[in-house]
Amino acid sequence: MTAITLYHNPRCSKSRETLKLLESNDVTPTIIKYLDNPLSAEALSMLKQQLGLSSFREMMRTKEADYKAANLGDASVDEAQLLDAMVNNPKLVERPIAVKGEKAVIGRPPENVLALIK
């Protein structure tokens, strides 16, 4: 079985629930605390591809105060600017994200990760 990597924020309830759900299904993921070890532009681009998203905005915490303060919801903000914002402010990255092989899911709701273990 291919290992699962979990981009995790232990202070986030959904992230903790996702980890607990994986563990209750006998999966011990590799945990990356992305706030402590921010993701590079290349890693975020790979995650976007693995998630099957068309825009970085789809993997951002759009209700976050920093998102609003930076006016990232403005239609004139391009993909490069969104990516740069996530690289420089990792708390803008939606969490948790679970990855298995070439596929990834956002654990909102946590049950989304079950698609990776079936």
Q: Could you report the per-residue pLDDT of 49-72, keeping only the tens digit for each? A: 999 999 999 999 999 999 999 999
d(CA 13, CA 108): 11
Contacts of residue 32, Cβ cutoff 8 Å, sequence gap at least 6? 5, 6, 7, 8
Q: Could you report the per-residue pLDDT of 69-89, keeping only the tens digit for each? A: 999 999 999 999 999 999 999
Could you tell me which residues are beta bridge partners of residue 104? Answer: 99
- What per-residue confidence (pLDDT) applies to 1? 55
Where in the sequence numbering do the catalytic residues fall? Answer: 12
| pTM of the entire predicted model | 0.94
Q: Could you check whether the bond before residue 38 is cis, i.e. omega within 30 degrees of 0?
A: no
Nearest to 53 by CA among 79, 35, 84, 32: 79
